[in-house]
Amino acid sequence: MRRMILIITFCMILQALVCINIEEITNISYRNTPFDYDTHLGSINRYNNRLIVQNLFKIEEYLIDSSGNLERIFFYETKDSFIIPAIIANDMYFCFQSESLEKSILVFTLTVTPMQLIETVSLPVDFAYFFTPQLVGNHIYIQESQNNTLRFNINTLTFDESLTNLFGFFVVHEDTFIVPFYYVIDDVIEDYVLRFYDFNTASEDLPYGEIITELFLEMEMTDFPPVRLKVEDDKLYILSHNYIAVYDITDINNINILMSYSTNNDFSFNIAFSDAVLIEDKMIAYSNKNILFLNIIDQDNVEILYEETKVNSSICYNPINYNGSDVYINTGTELKHYIFEEIPEFVASYGKNRQNFYTYNEYVLEKKPNEDIITITSLLDLDNTFDISKEAGVNHFYKFYIDDELLILFEKHNEVSILEIYNVDNNSVTLVTNLSLDGFFVSRIYKFNDFVLIYDNNLKLSRVYSFQENNLIYIGEIQGIIESDTNVGLENYFIVVNNESVYLHSKQDPLNIDYSFTNYLNNIILVHTINENTLGLITLYNESRTLYFYNIDLANNELEYISEITYISIMTNYNFFNGIMSENSAYSQEQKYYSISQGVYQLLGEHLTNKSAYRTLFYPEQNIMVQFSYSGIDIYDIEYTVASSDQVVEYEREIYVYPNPVNGGDVNFKTALSGNDTEISIYNIKGQLVKTSKAFQTKDNESIFTWDKRNNQNQNVASGVYFYKIKTDSQIKTGKFLIMK
């Protein structure tokens, strides 16, 4: 019975989406962050018993307890990335923020716990990510351009001057500038030298100062210059492609090499080392491909104690923090804690990474590292969750589809690809069939009626299966890109783009093309069905992006141009869901929401956010908005008003509900259905029974019921869409109505 109600409710919700035409969204208020995650790609700094970690879109501050475990006490979010390493000096934390319109230095004071933002200083010019800032005395040196370097005074928090002819790739040791020079002949580095300058003797004509000494490098990998130079504890690190060397520069006039390490010279590996820490006769090395714990036997003899392959292949600078035997590393997917003495011992990991999360509409699939389960959760009902056992400690890739009865799960591990289908019953699932998909990488899963479509974005190909009696039967393939949203758009068709043309495939017979629209636009990037009659297409044109709106005229088998939004910024995320377009721009702190109807768009509402949101889902019936950002998934409560044309929600002819929507007072039901035991039941959007009562029968053989908007426990109900079921001895009728406060 409960399942029947859920199915009926789901069908009615889809109908209700068409009926509710939102005119204005108001009172967007934060409710919950059920999933909080990070992209661990930033530097790690330590201040006393606090660890400050940069992630791609936020800074996190942790307290370190006596056992080395971490407790997060503060985080600062941004719409753009933190890439350049931060610097701690004068009890302050200096972080370089790369906003789209402005580059700035964020200054936090560390004299309080948690730290507090005290100043935001605009950088007068842009700067390159590759060249890291350097602290020399009371100044931070920041590359300004190919010719100049800025000097930022950490005492006054102002820029003192711009130094000409000091630029590029350098590192600082006390008052010594170490500057690399190399000569390239036929795209090969023939000679590489590090020059050590006394900066105290620098002048306009001699910008670096007097040369103290030179160090010629005999690198095994001479086709690439070093990725980074680093100085720490009188040690100079040369970090390059497939190569690390460490020199003792305690005495600049007597430089000794301490160790060197080279990986396989095969360029296909292209391992780029960006950080390393030398600990007596041990080393921790960080690259874009892996993390190494090394034992140094002698200068040229190194053995690998432990190697961990990175899931995220990006390079970051200063992702290792070592203190005593405690080691903290940003791996790209996790912040990991190790004890490193003779051999590394893993202690704990912190943070959840986006690469461990997979989503389908309001459902989230989470694969927890080093655990043997995946968990699927509904964001609309956080109690609606279930687990599936999987192999522990193995990196998998997942895509999935889910409804009230079925879960379709694609899993890839190494070269093994498999499609599994489960029956869903309350908070549990039962495997009913599986299918090997060797050589096929599923990017998306669709289910139309009794058909299952799996789409490979690399092949631009979909395989179509008939799902009957718990078996998948292959019936054919569809060439092209499937551009459909399962929550909005065409009732009877899904969209395929192929060869600059748009095809409407029947959901009743997926291989059948009922309509096609050809040669009307070039370079189709994305297609969105806004509603039953409007098609939105994003195209690339003259290095700008344009969103075109077309009506679908099935009678004449053509698309009718309506309007367009010219120039959509590449730094702006646009998302379509349930007829609402959301806009999140790195240029603005306002997240904006627009309605799209017949190609006409108008602003519905906005709210301030410092998050970089890439997807927004609207569920008007539940008064909920779900926002996916790079730092987590957030749920907001929303209120809204509907357009005047929607003030009467559709109802069945035999039943009248008035007023509808209900703004105040009671809800009245009047129906021609009659009988001695006419009963009315009211359900909320989740299919839960709210109120049940006998109807009063009049002398005109009509049944009347008045509801005071209180449930069976005599509590006032919330705003939203409700569903009624009127039952007599011989008939059952259902409908919906809207309560607004």
Could you read off the pLDDT of 215-236 as tens digits, one per residue? 887 765 445 667 788 999 999 9
pLDDT digit string (tens) for 660-690? 777 677 888 877 766 667 788 888 766 678 8
How far is the C-alpha of 437 from the C-alpha of 395, rounded, in Å?
18
* Same-domain pairing of 277 and 166: yes
Do residues 690 and 676 touch, judged by C-beta distance below 8 A?
A: no
- Tell me the pLDDT of the chain averaged across its residues: 81
79 and 109 share a domain? Answer: yes
pLDDT at 672: 73
Residue 502 covered by a domain? no
Structural contact between residues 630 and 57, judged by C-beta atoms closer than 8 angstroms:
yes
pLDDT of residue 171: 84
One-letter amino acid for residue 153 of the chain: N
Last residue of a domain, one of 294, 318, 350: 350
With a cut of 50, list the residues of the chain below it in pLDDT. Answer: 1-19, 128-130, 221-222, 267-268, 645-653
Write down which residue in 479, 505, 526 finishes a domain: 479
Answer yes or no: is 227 within a domain: yes
In a domain, 273, yes or no: yes
Residue 199 lies in a domain: yes
The pLDDT of residue 570 is 67
What is d(CA 445, CA 456) in angstroms, rounded to the nearest whole number? 9
DSSP 542-609: TTEEEEEEEEEETTTTEEEEEEEE----TTEEEEEETTEEEEEETT-SEEEEEEEETTEEEEEEEEE-
Neighbours of 629 (CB within 10 A): 25
DSSP of 591-613, one letter per residue? EEEEEEETTEEEEEEEEE--S-E
pLDDT on residue 699: 55
What pLDDT is recorded for position 543? Answer: 59
Structure-token match 């630029």, residue found:
167
Same domain, 305 and 209: yes
Q: What is the CA radius of gyration of the chain?
A: 31
Return the amino acid letter for 290.
N
Q: Of 434, 457, 479, which marks where a domain is finished?
A: 479
- Domain identity same for 176 and 262: yes
How many Cβ atoms from other residues are within 10 Å of residue 688's Cβ?
12
CATH classification at residue 162? 2.130.10.10
Residues 257 and 371 reside in one and the same domain: no
Sheet holding 158-164, edge to edge: 134-136, 139-143, 148-153, 158-164
Using CA atoms of 306, 308, 309, 313 in order, give the dihedral in degrees to the nearest 10. Answer: -120
- In-domain check, residue 274: yes
- Same domain membership, residue 651 and residue 734: yes
Among 417, 368, 375, 380, residue whose Cα is nearest residue 397: 417
Q: How many CB atoms lie within 10 A of CB 428?
A: 11
- Does one domain contain both 232 and 329? yes
| Partner residues linked to 492 by β-bridges | none
Give backbone dihedrals phi and psi of 719, rounded to 5 degrees, phi first.
-65, 155
The reply to whether 90 and 155 lie within a common domain is: yes
Structure tokens at 616: 């927004």
296 and 367 both lie in a single domain? no
Q: Does residue 704 form part of some domain?
A: yes
Domain ranges, residue 275 = 39-350
366 DSSP assignment:
E
Predicted local distance difference test score (pLDDT) of residue 489: 64
The kind and range of the H/E element at 344 are strand 344-350
- For residues 573, 574, 576 and 579, what is the CA-based torsion angle, rounded to 10 degrees? 140
Query: Could you tell me the CA-to-CA distances from 422 to 68, 447, 729 in Å, in that order?
Result: 42, 14, 38
Predicted confidence at residue 676, as pLDDT, reads: 65
Burial class of residue 432 in the structure, from the number of CB atoms within 10 Å of its CB (0-12 exposed, 13-18 middle, 19+ buried): middle
pLDDT at 379: 92
Residue 643, pLDDT score: 64
CATH number of the CATH domain containing 699:
2.60.40.1930
Q: Per the domain annotation, does 607 fall within a domain? A: no
Say if CB 297 and CB 256 are below 8 A apart: no
Other CB atoms within a 10 A radius of the CB of residue 619 amount to 22
Q: How far is CA 60 from the centre of its chain?
A: 17
Q: Is 562 left (phi over 0), alpha (psi -120 to 50) or beta?
A: alpha
Backbone phi and psi for residue 444, each to the nearest 5 degrees, phi listed first:
-150, 155
User: Looking at residue 277, what is its pLDDT?
Assistant: 95
Q: Are residues 304 and 208 in the same domain?
A: yes
Is position 212 within any domain? yes
Give the whole-angstrom CA distance, residue 639 versus residue 625: 10
- What is the predicted pLDDT for the residue at 540? 60
Tell me the C-alpha distance between 335 and 319, whole Å. 9
* Same domain as 323, residue 411: no
174 lies in the same domain as 203: yes
Question: What is the number of domains present in the chain?
Answer: 3
